[in-house]
Amino acid sequence: MNGSRSGFTLLEIVVALAVLAVALTALLTLRNRDVALQAHARHLVTATSLARAKMEELSRGAETDQTENAGNFGDHYPGYVWTRVEEPTPVPTWVELTVTVSWPEGGRQEQVALVTYVQEVKRVPSL
C-alpha cells in the first residue's frame, strides 16, 4: 500500500476559508454600496421631478404676483423643500428663474437646481 493519502490538509482548508471570507466581505461591501447608490438615484429622480413641476408652476404663474419663495411638498414628499430665486438678466424684460429642491440624505443636505428664463410681465396696480 502506498503511504500517500488523498484529501485536504487542515492548512488547505483554513486557507480556502480565509479566501472565501475575504471574497464574501468584498461582495457584501459592494452590495451595501449598491443599495446606497440606488437610494441616492431615487432621491435625485424624485427631486428633479419635483423641481420640474415647481418650475412649470412658477413659470406659468409669471403673470401673477408670486411672493412665495420657499416651501415644502407636503406629506407626500417629506423632507423635500424648494426655494425660488429670480435674478435680472441683461435683457430688460426677462428674468432668470432658479428652483432648487433639497433633501436630507446620509447626514448631509443634497440638492438639485433647475434654471430657466421667463419673460417678466409688468404687473398693473389694482384700482
Confidence at residue 76, expressed as pLDDT on a 0 to 100 scale: 93
Residue whose entry in the numeric block shows the C-alpha cell 417629506: 78
The residues facing 118 across adjacent strands are 95
Collect the ranges in the chain with pLDDT lower than 70: 1-4, 61-67, 121-127
| 3-state secondary structure at position 81 | strand
Q: Does domain 10-119 have CATH number 3.30.1300?
A: yes
Q: How far apart are CA 64 and CA 104, in angstroms?
A: 32
Query: Where are the chain's structural domains?
Result: 10-119
Confidence at residue 64, expressed as pLDDT on a 0 to 100 scale: 45
Burial 57-87 (b: 16+ CB within 10 A, else e): ebeeeeeeeeeeeeeebeeebeebbbebeee
Confidence at residue 68, expressed as pLDDT on a 0 to 100 scale: 76
79: alpha, beta or left, given left = phi > 0 and alpha = psi -120 to 50?
left
Q: How far apart are CA 113 and CA 110, in angstroms?
A: 10
Confidence at residue 5, expressed as pLDDT on a 0 to 100 scale: 72
